[in-house]
């Protein structure tokens, strides 16, 4: 079975949705390790409740380069069986840009969730960007990670209507509900080997 590594920085609600789905035997994957760059991430406690091993590689005050930081992450992933051959890495609210070395090493094996319909509103504060733009629809996107920010082949998206009365917070709340459906679904598609990448686009088979 594939081994899953999840990288978090905070709340960990997407991680929790994935772990719940695995526990209910909906996804054929072994949750090996949860790593946080933030020792105070609430998600660490949630992972422990699920009986999943956790590690912290604190990024605050880390004096080395991005590649050096990622080397530490890669070493923990590898030790826990999350390898280039038999692993999947999920970024779930991991608030760091990962190095090209990391992306290369786990080519097409790192996925991310973004709270907007990419390629619209990449980067930070996606829900705020959506509200301010006047768009009528937003949502979430699960995508493979490449060396860009929120680029990379799109696996699946879910749509949320933007209401006239929406604030960043109210929209974020409704998008998050869709994220909790989308991320486990994408992990399942990956684990069942149903995602092909052809010319930079995914095909779900
Ligand atoms: C989510 O909105 C996700 O789309 C974004 O960061 C947030 C993480 O939330 N990348 P959580 O830690 O999964 O609750």
Q: What is the 3-state secondary structure (H, E, C) of 84-133?
A: CCCEEEEECCCCCCCCHHHHHHCCCCEEEEECCCCCCCCCCCHHHHHHHH
Q: How far is the CA of 127 from the centre of ligand 1 (A)?
A: 11
Same-domain status, 158 and 195: yes
Per-residue model confidence (pLDDT) at position 56? 98
Region 120-132: what's the mean pLDDT? 98
**Which of 187, 158, 192 has the alpha carbon at shortest distance from 22?**
187
Per-residue model confidence (pLDDT) at position 33? 98
CA–CA distance, 86 with 88 (Å, rounded to integer): 7
One of 109, 114, 143, 180 is an active-site residue; which one?
A: 114
78 touches 5 (CB < 8 A): no
93 touches 12 (CB < 8 A): yes
Cβ of 14 below 6 Å from ligand 1: yes
Same-domain status, 149 and 74: no
Q: How far is the CA of 14 from the centre of ligand 1 (A)?
A: 6
Region 74-91: what's the mean pLDDT? 98
Ligand 1 atom nearest residue 176's Cα: 2
Q: How far is the CA of 2 from the centre of ligand 1 (A)?
A: 23
Ligand 1 atom nearest residue 9's Cα: 12
Rounded to a whole number, what is the distance in angstroms from the first to the last CA of the chain? 20
4 touches 87 (CB < 8 A): yes
Same-domain status, 120 and 36: no
Residue 189, CA distances (Å) to 13, 29, 139, 163, 196 in order: 20, 11, 19, 31, 10
Of 107, 137, 158, which residue is a domain's last? 107
**If DSSP codes are grouped into helix, strand and coil, which group holds residue 49?**
helix
CA–CA distance, 92 with 186 (Å, rounded to integer): 13
191 touches 28 (CB < 8 A): yes
Residues of the chain above pLDDT 70, percent = 100
Cβ of 158 below 6 Å from ligand 1: no
Q: How far is the CA of 111 from the centre of ligand 1 (A)?
A: 13
Residues of the chain above pLDDT 90, percent = 100
Nearest CA to ligand 1 atom 12: 12
Of 107, 122, 151, which residue is a domain's last? 107
Region 40-49: what's the mean pLDDT? 98
> Total domain count for the chain?
2
Nearest CA to ligand 1 atom 1: 93
Nearest CA to ligand 1 atom 9: 93
Per the confidence metrics, is the pTM higher than 0.95? yes
Same-domain status, 56 and 117: no
- In the residue annotation, 143 being an active-site residue is answered as no
Of 59, 79, 107, which residue is a domain's last? 107
């Amino acid at each position: 079975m594939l081994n899953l590594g999840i990288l978090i920085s905070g709340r960990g609600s997407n991680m929790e949705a994935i772990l719940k789905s695995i526990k209910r035997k909906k996804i054929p994957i072994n949750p090996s390790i949860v790593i946080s760059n933030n020792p105070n991430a609430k998600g660490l406690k949630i992972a422990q409740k699920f009986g999943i091993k956790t590690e912290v590689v604190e990024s605050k005050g880390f004096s080395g380069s991005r590649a050096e930081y990622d080397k530490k992450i890669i070493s923990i992933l590898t030790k826990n069986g999350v390898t280039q051959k038999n692993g999947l890495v999920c970024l779930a609210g991991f608030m760091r840009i990962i190095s090209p070395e990391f992306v290369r090493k786990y080519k097409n094996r790192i996925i991310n969730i973004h709270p907007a319909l990419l390629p619209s509103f990449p980067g930070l504060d996606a829900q705020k960007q959506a509200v301010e733009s006047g768009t009528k629809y937003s949502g979430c996107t699960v995508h493979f990670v490449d060396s860009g920010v929120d680029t990379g082949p799109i696996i699946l998206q879910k749509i949320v209507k933007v209401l006239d009365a929406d604030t960043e917070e109210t929209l974020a709340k409704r998008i998050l509900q869709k994220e909790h459906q989308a991320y486990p679904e994408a992990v399942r598609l990956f684990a069942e080997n149903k995602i092909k990448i052809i010319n930079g686009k995914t095909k779900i088979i």
